[in-house]
Chains A and B, each alone.
Chain A
């Protein structure tokens, strides 16, 4: 991380990985400093902005070491809690223990707590201060350069152009296209663009872009849309969304009740494409409806990233709602392969890492946390959450590999040779599958590949890579190559303890860890919307108080909440759900021993249980609705009737 200011004009993009406190735990995030603002991303890819902090006039505290910081934190209970959680967090490597906590308090908005490596703390502090000061300079310049007639397309003198260059560069965070051009102007190797900065400014003046620059900052992107809870909260945050959500929840219910998953004699690809297409149309209908009914979402029409976020939120919400049916059908589709895979994994239970191609240098690596994380994959319901779980698993493996690499005393090229490549990740994925014994691997792979970001083919990003690796590992385990390897290996008979471990692993699919619990519960309550008292609703807050979202489908939702794999719905995903359910918020611990299931409820985290009664009933007398009760054939390219039907009520 280095600050690079050339002649005080250009602020080089400062970026790097840090840990950010999100009120519950530390999250590993990629942050980028721009003039006047700090943006938080999930990964280096910078696909989605998680949070934007405006730095103008901000104050930065705490540049002491983590040790001294801990003593300060211990003085307050919240600080102590924060600190304890920090140490308990499993995703840290050893080096971060020497980190420094920086607290950035912006003039407006919440403060942000960042943990950076100790040796980088001073650089980060300086960079943040510089970024904050450049914002001020940019605005000052903007005022100074404003022409009396308000027009900015007038020709400037060379010196003006130079200043304007700074203005343009520093103002570029206002609007995305400008931001991109700013990056182009500051890139070290601007090989693809031959224009000088002043020429560019001139060119933009000619096109009238400067006049189009907004005088106020564009609103930050929404964040916390990576979980189903976050997406549900986002969609619930405005009462204006109620009608669209109510309509969508009806469509979801009809999808679950009436939509035929196609004859199994049809090619799998075709059936999957049909489901995907239907869901895409369902999501599109919801998005269109939301845009139409909620003027606050108007910004999506001009802000591409926000539109993507809206799509994502709708997609997560809708696909979460039909998870049981889709996943059930996927399980059915791959039932034979799953059986083969389970048999293969049983044989590989005690296989050595080298059998999977794990490098000798990495064999000492203990999977530990990665194994636990990987076992969570069936706990999550949306493809996005599953894919994020997969990414987190890989990150934990990478953290382990980094520890191994650090302990090596070789030269840089040798260490480069230790950087994990796809062969390594694939080998580790195989090892992970053999050790974790998670069920429904093929179905999960298919579910993630086909239903992650259904609105477009977005399997080119990082999540797509991890899913591909996962799918490749499944494929390899069923390959003739693997059969041959297994045949050559003498597999030790499975011991009693091993069987117990396997049972535990299977049960893990059904057990909800504290980490994933809340996400699931709230998720279960999110579908099928029914407003009890919409007439008094005026804003988002009151909406949450006055409205009640309830579910319509009994066993499916109930099973989702308790996370028991529903064999009935797996075998017959088309069956209509029974009408009533009661949903429970809290931690549920499930253990399955020899086919028996016991359910225990832990309320430690959530206080008293909150019961939500199901109020939604399909009115059988309603002709409009009953007209949709007939089974809908799933064919690609055609919309089932319920998708395009108008809003009910």
Chain B
């Protein structure tokens, strides 16, 4: 039986970097114009057929306001991938990506897939793109230049995420024996009873 693989992708980034536009462009692009309009941008799904494997991307927006920053781990817990978005016209937003990465390294699942998107690439960049690409490579992430306005690089970004997550899941399934996949914890809350006092039989 072919099973649809759910992939949870969280969107992280400062406010106003264009997270919502990015995901709306991606999800709405393949909808016909008369399709039921998207009524919210907080949780969106997209079904993909990836080399025969059915994938459902569940794209979770996260709260971007500074006041909600501490809530990040609640959202990216159990995430398969995180897309870190920055605005190429705003260097601070790229610095913020670096702090997100540090936080993810501490708090997120170890095997989370990272992708970085430099959004608004149709405008003049204030960030050295080579630097950002080097940074992405250094943390094992991929880097894409995107523009929600001009629909550049968005599909490639999400496809790359889906591909890497699938590859990782496949590798995990092949390498980890089934018996060890089950999470079990055994706790002994009482010390074993002391051995009976030895009796001298002699």
Contacts of B49 in A (CB 8 A): 180-181, 183-184, 187, 190, 192-193
- Interface 1/0s, chain A 210-239, versus B by CB < 8 A? 000000000000000000000000000000
A-B residue pair count with CB separations less than 8 angstroms:
156
Give, as a whole number of angstroms, the nearest-CB distance from B10 to chain A: 10
- Contact check, B186 vs A420: say whether CB atoms are below 8 A apart: no
Selected contact of A302 from candidates B1, B35, B41, B70, CB within 8 Å? B1
Interface 9-mer from A458-466, A538-546, A619-627: A458-466
Whether A45 is near chain B, meaning CB under 8 Å from some CB there, is yes
Q: Which residues of B1-42 are within 8 A (CB) of A?
A: 1-4, 6-8, 15, 19-21, 24, 30, 32-36, 38-42
Q: A180-B54, A270-B187, A636-B186 are in contact. Are A460 and B1 (CB under 8 A)?
A: no
- Contact check, B50 vs A424: say whether CB atoms are below 8 A apart: no
- Contact check, A421 vs B20: say whether CB atoms are below 8 A apart: yes
Whether A425 is near chain B, meaning CB under 8 Å from some CB there, is yes
Q: A183-B49, A421-B61 are in contact. Are A177 and B40 (CB under 8 A)?
A: no
Contacts of A629 in B (CB 8 A): none
- Contact check, B58 vs A419: say whether CB atoms are below 8 A apart: no
Distance, CA A46 to CA B186, complexed state (A)? 38
How big is the A interface, by class? Answer: 35 or more
Whether A149 is near chain B, meaning CB under 8 Å from some CB there, is no
Give, as a whole number of angstroms, the nearest-CB distance from A19 to chain B: 13
- Contact check, A472 vs B67: say whether CB atoms are below 8 A apart: no
Give, as a whole number of angstroms, the nearest-CB distance from A178 to chain B: 9
Give, as a whole number of angstroms, the nearest-CB distance from A540 to chain B: 28
- Contact check, B185 vs A402: say whether CB atoms are below 8 A apart: no
Contacts of A417 in B (CB 8 A): 20
Selected contact of B64 from candidates A15, A190, A191, A423, CB within 8 Å? A423
Selected contact of B36 from candidates A16, A183, A273, A421, CB within 8 Å? A16
Interface 9-mer from B71-79, B85-93, B99-107: B71-79
**Chain A: CB-nearest residue to B6:** A460
Whether B48 is near chain A, meaning CB under 8 Å from some CB there, is yes
Whether B133 is near chain A, meaning CB under 8 Å from some CB there, is no
Contacts of B45 in A (CB 8 A): 44-45, 462
- Contact check, A426 vs B68: say whether CB atoms are below 8 A apart: yes
- Contact check, B40 vs A176: say whether CB atoms are below 8 A apart: no
Contacts of A468 in B (CB 8 A): 60, 74-75
Whether A422 is near chain B, meaning CB under 8 Å from some CB there, is yes
Contacts of A263 in B (CB 8 A): 189
Most chain-B Cβ atoms within 10 A of its Cβ — which of A2, A4, A472, A475? A472
**Chain B: CB-nearest residue to A304:** B1
Whether A588 is near chain B, meaning CB under 8 Å from some CB there, is no
Distance, CA A459 to CA B48, complexed state (A)? 20
- Contact check, B74 vs A472: say whether CB atoms are below 8 A apart: yes
- Contact check, A191 vs B68: say whether CB atoms are below 8 A apart: no
Whether B175 is near chain A, meaning CB under 8 Å from some CB there, is no
Contacts of B54 in A (CB 8 A): 180
Whether B142 is near chain A, meaning CB under 8 Å from some CB there, is no
Distance, CA A123 to CA B62, complexed state (A)? 37
Q: A187-B49, A357-B67 are in contact. Are A176 and B38 (CB under 8 A)?
A: no
- Contact check, B24 vs A180: say whether CB atoms are below 8 A apart: no
Whether A638 is near chain B, meaning CB under 8 Å from some CB there, is yes
Q: A16-B36, A192-B50 are in contact. Are A177 and B56 (CB under 8 A)?
A: no
Q: A270-B185, A465-B43, A472-B75 are in contact. Are A479 and B60 (CB under 8 A)?
A: no
Contacts of B50 in A (CB 8 A): 192
Distance, CA A190 to CA B50, complexed state (A)? 9
Whether B65 is near chain A, meaning CB under 8 Å from some CB there, is yes
Give, as a whole number of angstroms, the nearest-CB distance from B29 to chain A: 8
Distance, CA A530 to CA B30, complexed state (A)? 54
Contacts of A180 in B (CB 8 A): 2, 4, 49, 54
- Contact check, B40 vs A419: say whether CB atoms are below 8 A apart: yes
Give, as a whole number of angstroms, the nearest-CB distance from A292 to chain B: 21
- Contact check, A177 vs B2: say whether CB atoms are below 8 A apart: yes
Whether B51 is near chain A, meaning CB under 8 Å from some CB there, is yes
Q: A2-B34, A304-B1 are in contact. Are A193 and B71 (CB under 8 A)?
A: no
Q: A2-B32, A419-B20, A481-B67 are in contact. Are A273 and B78 (CB under 8 A)?
A: no
Whether A98 is near chain B, meaning CB under 8 Å from some CB there, is no
- Contact check, A16 vs B68: say whether CB atoms are below 8 A apart: no
Contacts of A476 in B (CB 8 A): 68, 70-71
Selected contact of A635 from candidates B7, B39, B40, B187, CB within 8 Å? B187
Selected contact of A475 from candidates B36, B56, B74, CB within 8 Å? B74
Whether A630 is near chain B, meaning CB under 8 Å from some CB there, is no
Whether B127 is near chain A, meaning CB under 8 Å from some CB there, is no
Whether A637 is near chain B, meaning CB under 8 Å from some CB there, is yes
- Contact check, B159 vs A16: say whether CB atoms are below 8 A apart: no
Whether B196 is near chain A, meaning CB under 8 Å from some CB there, is no
Whether B152 is near chain A, meaning CB under 8 Å from some CB there, is no
Selected contact of B62 from candidates A4, A193, A422, A638, CB within 8 Å? A422
- Contact check, A637 vs B186: say whether CB atoms are below 8 A apart: yes
Q: A1-B34, A17-B36, A45-B56 are in contact. Are A422 and B61 (CB under 8 A)?
A: yes
Q: Which residues of A421-471 are within 8 A (CB) of B?
A: 421-426, 457-462, 465, 468-469, 471
- Contact check, A471 vs B65: say whether CB atoms are below 8 A apart: no
Selected contact of B184 from candidates A45, A465, A636, CB within 8 Å? A636
- Contact check, B70 vs A479: say whether CB atoms are below 8 A apart: yes
Whether A189 is near chain B, meaning CB under 8 Å from some CB there, is yes
Distance, CA A2 to CA B32, complexed state (A)? 7
Contacts of A459 in B (CB 8 A): 78
Contacts of B68 in A (CB 8 A): 357, 423, 426, 472, 476
Whether B112 is near chain A, meaning CB under 8 Å from some CB there, is no
- Contact check, A176 vs B1: say whether CB atoms are below 8 A apart: yes
Whether A398 is near chain B, meaning CB under 8 Å from some CB there, is yes
- Contact check, B1 vs A423: say whether CB atoms are below 8 A apart: no
**Chain B: CB-nearest residue to A418:** B41
- Contact check, B70 vs A416: say whether CB atoms are below 8 A apart: no
**Interface CB pairs A-B, < 8 A, 10:** A1-B32, A2-B32, A191-B155, A193-B49, A263-B189, A422-B60, A422-B64, A426-B71, A457-B78, A471-B74
Give the A-binding residues of B (Cβ under 8 A): 1-4, 6-8, 15, 19-21, 24, 30, 32-36, 38-43, 45, 47-52, 54, 56, 58, 60-65, 67-68, 70-71, 74-75, 78, 80, 155, 159, 184-187, 189
The 7 closest A-B pairs by CB, nearest first: A637-B184, A184-B49, A460-B8, A636-B185, A422-B61, A465-B43, A177-B2
Given A2-B34, A46-B47, A472-B74, 10 more contacts at CB 8 Å? Answer: A2-B32, A4-B32, A120-B34, A180-B4, A302-B1, A421-B19, A422-B64, A423-B65, A462-B43, A472-B71
